[in-house]
Amino acid sequence: MNLLAGFLSADAGEIRLGSTPIPQGDPIACRQLGIEMIHQHFMLVPAFTVEENLALNRLPNLHSSLRISNLIQTSLTAAKGLDWEVANDSRARDLPVGAQQKLEILKALGGDARVLIFDEPTAVLSPTEVTELFTVLRRLRDAGAVVILIAHKLSEVFAVADRVTVLRRGEFIGTALITEITSEKLARWMVGEFPPAQDIPTQELGPPVVQADGISVIGDQGQLAVRDVSFEIRAGEIVGFGGVEGNGQDELAEALACLRPAAGALTLPVHRHRIGYIPQDRQADGLALGLSIEENLLIKGVDRAELVRRGWLQLRAIHRWAATLVEKFAVKAESARSLAGSLSGGNQQKVVVARELDANPELLVVVNPTRGLDIRSTQFVHDSIRQAAAAGTAVALFSTDLDELRALASTTYFLSRGELLTGNSAETYLGAKA
């Protein structure tokens, strides 16, 4: 969709609107053709007022005088047509998420839009706001515009769409009129063959390490990301959390890793440093790329008495210990003193895994641990997680990869809009309640 709106250029092929080819990589030209995109991550200037934000897309050029009230007339008329109250003088950052979404839509309606692209607009909205949004989408359609809605949820597609097209991993899967397709078939298009549940060899499970009883977590944008969920993870158990990205997985993982406050009764290991965390973004949250492999391992190793005595680093012991870990976890590096930033992605991940598992955690929180890794590294990381569980660690595995969940987890929950669903079907995965 970024191609269609001119934010990216295609490597090959062209897109035509009517009979005119769409200029590629030129969002302004696309806007002049009447293509508007409402981005999933809002494109607002937080410190600007509502009026100023509305005018953003309408600026004629850089040197003529600026009359904001003229520029935003169309947007304001559109707002009136939709019965939306607009607080012109508030700053965008002070608005609740739903109002920011409205602002984003009004911004798009400020021109002569013929094609409107909504990229997952419902992710941060409450159910009532979603219903309201769908009414708006229908009205826009009735007014003659083309509305493209990118969605992951079957219920949304059936609620509002006339025709549906499925893309999976960049490939075209199929297209159908909504009246001619069942939710089951659509789910199969979206997910592919749903992998059958595998038999995870069950071992003796220990006492519960994590007990969550009705916990809720607030996300970065102030939305309720996790709503009133309950589950438990026992020592030696791998519990999977799946579902479409952006349904509260990150927030729940951070709450379990003690990095985000949670409301409700959440029992975690008493000592924070007994919680291992393998974050989704190893470069941003996992590693200090400017330090050596050894130093990155030491981030968790500083609690070991033989490595740090009375606040002093025992360099010789540290060198020996780090070299053993590098070898044990098959990190391919010149030496343990090479910079972590010089490693390939797979080896960086191995450093994180080595560090977290060596600390022998009671609870291990893992988020998409094999994203971007090749098959061998993936296998290695999977084996490591299994071994940790076999040694009695409770593992919370967050993954968007169904095969990964099937391969590792003995129980899998799916998150949809911050709620937990269980069940073993493609529909559950996509968030429709089975």
Partner 1 sequence: MIRTVLTALGLVVVLALTLACFGVAVGPGLLLLTEGAFGDKFAIARTLVKATPLLLTALGMTVAWKTGVYNIGGEGQYIVGAVFAAAIGKLLLPTSPGPIWTVLMLIAAILGGAGYASLAGWLYVRRGVEIVISTILLNFIAIQILGWAVEGPLKEKAGQVPQTDSIPDAAMLIKFDRQMDLHAGVVLALLAAVAVYLLMYRTRLGFLMRVTGDNRRAARANQIPADRLQVVAMAISGGLCGLAGGVQYLGIVGRLGTTFPEQWGFLGIPVALLGGLHPLGVIPAAVYFGALFAGSDQLSRFTPAGTSLVYVIQAVAVLGFVAMSTVKWRRRKPDGRTESNS
| Closer residue to partner 1 (CB): 62 or 305 | 305
| Closer residue to partner 1 (CB): 52 or 295 | 295
Question: 């990869």: which residue's tokens?
Answer: 401
Rule CB under 8 A: say whether 47 interacts with partner 1.
no
- Taking CB under 8 A as the rule, which mask of x and - marks residues 253-292 in contact with partner 1? ----xxx------------xx-x-x-x---xxxxxxxxx-
Residue 34 DSSP symbol:
T
| Closer residue to partner 1 (CB): 328 or 332 | 332
Biggest alpha carbon–alpha carbon distance for the chain = 75
264 SS3 class: strand
Rule CB under 8 A: say whether 317 interacts with partner 1.
no
| Closer residue to partner 1 (CB): 236 or 286 | 286
Rule CB under 8 A: say whether 177 interacts with partner 1.
no
228 SS3 class: strand
| Nearest distance, CB of residue 269 and partner 1, angstroms | 12
| Nearest distance, CB of residue 318 and partner 1, angstroms | 10
Rule CB under 8 A: say whether 31 interacts with partner 1.
no
CA atoms of 36 and 49, how far apart (whole Å): 21
CA atoms of 312 and 404, how far apart (whole Å): 41
- Taking CB under 8 A as the rule, which mask of x and - marks residues 204-243 in contact with partner 1? ----------------------------------------
> Given candidates 341, 382, 386, 392, which one binds partner 1 under the rule CB under 8 A?
341
| Closer residue to partner 1 (CB): 3 or 299 | 299
- Whether residue 341 contacts residue 351, with contact meaning beta carbons closer than 8 Å, is answered with no
> Given candidates 39, 152, 153, 350, which one binds partner 1 under the rule CB under 8 A?
350
| Closer residue to partner 1 (CB): 380 or 429 | 380
- Taking CB under 8 A as the rule, which mask of x and - marks residues 89-128 in contact with partner 1? ----------------------------------------
Phi, psi (deg, nearest 5) at residue 373: -95, 155
- Whether residue 281 contacts residue 235, with contact meaning beta carbons closer than 8 Å, is answered with no
| Closer residue to partner 1 (CB): 2 or 314 | 314
CA distances from 229 to 181, 270, 322, 420 (A): 33, 21, 39, 6
Rule CB under 8 A: say whether 251 interacts with partner 1.
no
Rule CB under 8 A: say whether 373 interacts with partner 1.
yes
| Nearest distance, CB of residue 273 and partner 1, angstroms | 6
> Given candidates 112, 213, 374, 383, which one binds partner 1 under the rule CB under 8 A?
374
193-211 per-residue burial string, b: 16 or more CB within 10 A, e: under 16: ebeeeeebeeeeeeeebbe
Rule CB under 8 A: say whether 372 interacts with partner 1.
yes
| Closer residue to partner 1 (CB): 154 or 388 | 388
Rule CB under 8 A: say whether 3 interacts with partner 1.
no
CA distances from 124 to 188, 287, 328, 418 (A): 26, 30, 43, 11
DSSP secondary structure string, 355-415?
HHHHT--SEEEEESTTTT--HHHHHHHHHHHHHHHHTT-EEEEE-S-HHHHHHH-SEEEEE
Pairing, β 312-313 against β 363-367? unpaired
CA atoms of 333 and 344, how far apart (whole Å): 9
> Given candidates 173, 313, 317, 323, which one binds partner 1 under the rule CB under 8 A?
313
Rule CB under 8 A: say whether 354 interacts with partner 1.
no
| Closer residue to partner 1 (CB): 74 or 283 | 283
Write out the two tokens for 425. 């079907």
- Taking CB under 8 A as the rule, which mask of x and - marks residues 385-404 in contact with partner 1? --------------------
Beta bridge mates, 166: 174
Question: 């050894």: which residue's tokens?
Answer: 294
Query: Kindly report the CA angle at 399 between 394 and 405, in degrees rounded to 5?
Result: 70
Which residues here bind partner 1, judged by CB under 8 A?
Answer: 257-259, 272-273, 275, 277, 279, 283-291, 295, 298-300, 302, 308, 311-313, 315, 332, 341-348, 350, 372-374, 376-377
